[in-house]
Amino acid sequence: MASDTLNLIEEGSEPSTMKIGFIGSGHIGQTLAKSAIQAGYSVVMSNSRGPETLAGLVQKLGPQAKAATVEEAAKEGEMVVVTVPLYALPQLPATHLAGKTLIDTMNYYPDRDGRIEALDQHTTTTSELTARHFPDAHVVKAFNSIYAAEIETTAKPKGDPDRRTLPIAGDNAAAKKDVTELIESIGFDVYDAGPLHEGFRFQNGTPAYCARANREKLIQLLRQAKE
Ligand SMILES: NC(=O)c1ccc[n+]([C@@H]2O[C@H](COP(=O)([O-])OP(=O)(O)OC[C@H]3O[C@@H](n4cnc5c(N)ncnc54)[C@H](OP(=O)(O)O)[C@@H]3O)[C@@H](O)[C@H]2O)c1
């Protein structure tokens, strides 16, 4: 079924009215914003070049979208998605995020991001680096393990036997609930893989990475990951 015609809001369930701030409006940011809007969220989009460069995107996304600076997206978002290349993480302002749920979609590609010794030595994970950079936010690793286009093309209504399960990891239960609600509302089941550190199980290069799997299969793949 084409994504435009896929109605994922369940009968009897209230669509979310939450506002999501996006730091990064590239492949993942744009696709996730579109799906979130279809599920009832509103979005505040930002990038490195300024809101004026996002005019075309917000026009396409419609009235539930606006363009802003990175600081404004962080401030206005009740939940914030950080979806930039990992090399840009140290440049991002860490203000306006106290107590907020922050979704980290980032993966580590040394050719793109430069060598990060702690990741090469496996003494930490990308999302733990993100949590260190945003110490006041509740970081949840999510959407790092699905190709951007598949956020639309593999979404399915709740109860569909082929509905895909996406993994999340994080240290804060309320934040994981926010992220679970978002993921379920846009067409996927969720598997909570545990604390943020357990995100190593679905980083790029692992068996679970970008697997189109149901819950049972995903659990098997996550178990195969080696730290
Ligand atoms: N593409 C995928 O299928 C996929 C899947 C899973 C995970 N991921 C991961 O998710 C992250 C985003 O991937 P993507 O493919 O969406 O990247 P992308 O298409 O290259 O978009 C990156 C976005 O980040 C913005 N950005 C870069 N530096 C910034 C800064 N200092 N401040 C604010 N915004 C900044 C860019 O803005 P400008 O254009 O203005 O520079 C752009 O909007 C990456 O870490 C990637 O590894 C990607």
Q: Would you say the CB of residue 27 lies under 6 angstroms from ligand 1?
A: yes
CA 218 / ligand 1 centre spacing (Å): 25
User: Mean pLDDT over residues 68-83, rounded?
Assistant: 98
How many A from CA of 27 to the centre of ligand 1?
A: 7
161 Cα: distance to centroid of ligand 1 (angstroms) = 32
* Alpha-carbon gap, residue 70 to 73, rounded angstroms: 5
Q: How confident is the model at residue 1 (pLDDT cuts 50, 70, 90)?
A: very low
Query: Ligand 1 pocket, 113 CB below 6 A?
Result: no
User: Average pLDDT of 188-198?
Assistant: 98
Three-state SS at 28: helix
Record the pTM.
0.96
Distance 24 CA to ligand 1 centre (A): 5
Average pLDDT for 191-199: 98
Say if 65 falls within a structural domain.
Answer: yes
Ligand 1 atom closest to the Cα of residue 70 is 33
Say how far apart CA 85 and CA 144 lie, in whole Å. Answer: 11
Residue 179 lies in a domain: yes
Q: Does 31 fall in a domain? A: yes
- 104-113 pLDDT, tens digit per residue, is 999 999 999 9
Instruction: Return the SS3 of 5.
Output: helix
CB of residue 91 inside a 6 A radius of ligand 1: yes
By most ligand atoms within 8 Å of CB, the mutation choice from 22, 23, 28, 71 for ligand 1 is 28
Q: Residue 11's pLDDT is what? A: 61
Burial group, residue 38, by CB count within 10 angstroms (0-12, 13-18, 19+): buried
114 assigned to some structural domain:
yes
Shortest-distance atom of ligand 1 to CA 107 = 47
**Residue 6 belongs to a domain:** no
Does residue 59 lie within any of the structural domains?
yes
- Order of strands across the sheet with 65-67? 65-67, 42-46, 19-23, 79-82, 101-104, 138-141, 165-170, 189-192
Residue for token digits 């692992």? Answer: 206
pLDDT band at 227 (very low <50, low <70, confident <90, very high): confident
- What mean pLDDT is predicted for residues 179-201? 98
Range of the structural domain that residue 119 is part of: 17-223
- Specify the pLDDT at position 131: 98
CATH of the domain at 110: 3.40.50.720
pLDDT at 14: 74
Residue at 11 is within a domain? no
Flag whether pLDDT at 8 surpasses 80.
no
Rounded distance between C-alpha atoms, residue 7 and residue 216, angstroms: 25
Mean pLDDT of 65-94: 98
pLDDT at position 15 is: 77
* Per-residue pLDDT, 2: 37
Q: Does the C-beta of 107 come closer than 6 Å to ligand 1?
A: yes
Q: What is the pLDDT of residues 15-62, one digit of tens each?
A: 788 999 999 999 999 999 999 999 999 999 999 999 999 999 999 999
Domain count, the chain: 1
Which residue's CA is minimally distant from atom 35 of ligand 1?
Answer: 48
Atom of ligand 1 nearest to the CA of 49: 40
As a whole number, mean pLDDT of residues 133-137 equals 98
Give me the percent of the chain exceeding a pLDDT of 70. 94
Helix or strand holding residue 113 (H, E) = helix 110-113
Is pLDDT larger for residue 4 or for residue 27?
27
Which atom of ligand 1 is least distant from the CA of 149?
3
* pLDDT value of residue 79: 98
Instruction: Please give the distance, rounded to the nearest whole angstrom, from the Cα atom of residue 206 to the centre of ligand 1.
Output: 21
145 and 166 Cβ atoms separated by less than 8 Å: yes
Distance of CA 206 to CAs 124, 159, 210, 213, 226, Å? 15, 27, 9, 14, 8
Average model confidence (pLDDT) across the chain: 95
The answer to whether residue 211 sits within a structural domain is yes
